[in-house]
Structures are given as structure tokens and as C-alpha cells.
């Protein structure tokens, strides 16, 4: 990625160490059994919504923009933090334009919480070993920057754009929340069977990959952010965090009925489709919930 000199987002809530984010460091006592914790970590690693396992808080807090670090500080920050902040800013610019055009309404920017160690979201507990996730209850994205190390080491998906893809995927969950797709899936989760709930969850995740691809399409055209090889890095990451790849790695066999995010092939297919078309029209997005098979 061409990060140098790019603007960072004002919507970052930096809760790392004593860098003085708005809320400072939040300590959370982990009262969960090991089994729950492992499930939550796996869900989060795959970018899922852990609230269904934890019991989401019913309170909805509006996102509140935080004061951003001066640009000079950002340039001196870690590369991971710059990737997250600058990718978020680019998403704000692109969705801020697309949203009114496509859906005839303003885009509400999400807050992105950067934490280290452990933190608490309205969707429950987040810890060092967890991957990024979007919490619909407080409309915030949560990310521990150590996830970049996990991507590199455990998932063998190196590169700055692998992390950018993950950020764009989480932002996409915020878009889905505003467009009503997330609510649609929650209803299936409440009323349907487990396999119906999993199938709906796969559709939501693949749509998020598609939307991340749409962002990459415009970033490539207008933002001067992408370099050769970046899309390849996103595809490697999308493939590495497919359900089948993760199941094979963790249990040695694959159980399609339990998929909640889509196979590696599906994730690559829909990120690529979004990237090539740049088409985020409502009718196109509806396809993910109307098509018999994806």
C-alpha cells in the first residue's frame, strides 16, 4: 500500500496502552469458561459477531467521533496502526460518496476501537487473541493490532493489504447494519434452525467480502492507495480465513453445514466480484439473500 502522507481517520478510538484514547484502558475481568472463550476467539478470528454467544447488550450507543492524533504523530506510529487508520479514512471517503448516490441517505461513519490486551464492547469481551469484529449494538469495529501477526503467522496471509481487507470487511458489516441485512440475518438466527442460521450467516459474510471488494475497486481507481500485489494479498487472506480452511486447520476435516463465513473459494470469488464490478446497488446486494446458491 502507498500509505505515506495519506490522511488518517478521526473516528479511531485508540485504547492502546497509555496513549491516551478517550476511554483510556478498559480492564475486563474474564468470567467465561474456557469453552466459551475458545468459541468466542474462533468466531472473532473469522470476523464474526460474538454477541450471539455472549448475549448482546440491548443498549444502543451512537458512535461518537474521537479526536484524532495529529498527522505527524500518525506517520510515526506503527505500520499496522497506519494501515488501519488510513484504510478506515479511505472507506469513509468512498462510502461517504457512494451511500447518498446509491441508497439516497447519508453514510454514518463507524468508530473503530484499537485496543491491546483486552477490552469490552457492547457485544461482550474482546481479548488479545481475538480477531477484529463489528459490534452492531454499539456500531463500532474492534481490532487488536496483534491480529496482523496472526494473519501473517497462523493464516500465512502477509502484507499490508491483507489487514486493509480485514478492516474493509468489518466496515462492510457496518454498512449491512445500516441497510438492514444484519437484522434480516438476526431474525433467521432467532427463528430458524441451526443450519438455516449458518446459511444466512454465510450470505452476510460473503456480502461483506463483496463490499470490501467494492471499496478496493474505488480505492484502486481514485485513492492512489494500492500497489501491485495488494489485491493478491487480500485474496490470500480471504482464502486463508475461509471456513473450510480454518476447519481443516483446527480439526482436520470439513463440516459444510457448520459454515458461517463461506469457503475459501466463495470468499475469494465474491471479493473479486466486488473488486471487478464496483457495483454496490441495492438490487445487486439483494442477490446474496435471494439467490438459491452462492
Chain residues in the site for Zn ion (CB under 5 A): 47, 205, 208
Task: Kindly tell me which of 89 and 203 has the beta carbon lying closer to Zn ion.
Answer: 203
Q: Which is nearer to Zn ion, 47 or 110 (CB)?
A: 47
Question: Nearest residue by C-beta to Zn ion?
Answer: 47
In the complex, minimum distance from the CB of residue 47 to Zn ion, in angstroms, rounded to a whole number: 3
3-class secondary structure, 171: helix
Nearer to Zn ion (CB atom), residue 166 or residue 231: 166
- DSSP output for the chain: ---TTPPPPS-EEEESTTS--TT-PPP------HHHHHHHHHHHHTT--THHHH---S--PPP---PPPPHHHHHHS-HHHHHHHHHHHHHHHHHHHHHHHHHSS---PPEEEEESSEEEETTEEEETT---EEETTTTEEEEETTHHHHHHHTS---SHHHHHHHHHHHHHHHHHHHHTHHHHHHHHHHHS-HHHHHHHHHHHHHHHHHHHHHHHHHIIIII----TTHHHHHHHHHHHTSHHHHHHHHHSS--GGG-SS--HHHHHHHHHHHHHH----HHHHHHHHH-S--
User: Cβ 228 to Zn ion, closest distance in Å?
Assistant: 27
Nearer to Zn ion, 13 or 205 (CB): 205
- Please, which residue, 8 or 50, has the CB nearer to Zn ion? 50
- Closer to Zn ion by CB, 74 or 171: give it: 171
| CB of residue 132 to Zn ion, shortest distance in Å | 9
Minimum distance between the CB of residue 202 and Zn ion, rounded to whole angstroms? 10
Q: Is the dihedral of CA 11, 15, 18, 20 positive or negative?
A: positive
**Minimum distance of Zn ion from residue 275's CB (angstroms):** 17
Is residue 83 within 8 A of residue 164, CB to CB? The reply is yes
Residue 134 host element (H or E): strand 133-135
144 or 205: whose CB is closer to Zn ion?
A: 205
* Residue 42 Cβ vs Zn ion, minimum distance, rounded to whole Å: 13
Min dist CB 254 to Zn ion, Å, is 19
Amino acid at each position: 500500500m502507498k500509505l505515506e502522507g495519506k490522511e488518517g481517520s478521526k473516528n479511531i478510538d485508540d485504547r492502546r496502552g497509555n496513549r491516551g484514547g478517550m476511554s483510556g484502558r478498559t480492564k475486563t475481568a474474564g468470567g467465561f469458561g474456557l469453552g466459551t472463550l475458545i468459541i468466542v476467539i474462533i468466531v472473532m478470528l473469522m470476523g464474526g459477531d460474538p454477541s450471539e454467544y455472549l448475549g448482546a447488550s440491548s443498549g444502543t450507543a451512537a458512535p461518537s467521533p474521537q479526536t484524532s492524533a495529529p498527522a505527524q504523530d500518525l506517520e510515526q506510529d506503527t505500520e499496522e496502526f497506519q494501515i488501519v487508520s488510513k484504510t478506515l479514512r479511505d472507506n469513509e471517503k468512498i462510502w461517504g460518496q457512494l451511500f447518498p448516490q446509491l441508497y439516497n441517505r447519508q453514510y454514518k461513519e463507524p468508530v473503530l476501537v484499537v485496543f491491546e490486551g483486552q477490552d469490552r464492547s457492547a457485544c461482550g469481551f474482546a481479548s488479545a487473541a481475538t480477531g477484529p469484529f463489528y459490534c452492531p449494538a454499539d456500531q463500532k469495529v474492534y481490532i487488536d493490532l496483534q491480529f496482523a501477526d496472526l494473519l501473517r503467522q497462523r493464516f500465512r496471509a502477509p502484507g499490508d493489504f491483507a489487514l486493509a481487507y480485514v478492516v474493509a470487511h468489518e466496515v462492510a458489516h457496518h454498512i449491512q447494519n445500516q441497510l438492514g441485512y444484519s437484522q434480516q440475518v438476526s431474525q433467521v438466527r432467532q427463528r430458524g434452525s441451526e443450519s438455516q442460521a449458518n446459511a444466512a450467516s454465510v450470505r452476510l459474510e460473503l456480502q461483506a467480502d463483496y463490499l470490501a471488494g467494492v471499496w478496493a475497486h474505488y480505492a484502486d481507481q481514485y485513492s492512489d492507495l494500492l500497489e501491485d500485489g495488494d489485491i493478491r494479498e487480500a485474496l490470500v487472506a480471504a482464502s486463508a480465513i475461509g471456513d473450510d480452511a480454518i476447519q481443516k486447520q483446527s480439526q482436520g476435516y470439513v463440516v459444510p453445514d457448520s459454515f458461517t463465513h463461506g469457503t475459501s473459494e466463495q470468499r475469494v470469488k465474491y471479493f473479486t466480484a466486488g473488486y471487478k464490478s464496483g457495483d454496490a446497488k441495492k438490487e445487486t446486494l439483494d442477490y446474496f439473500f435471494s439467490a438459491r446458491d452462492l
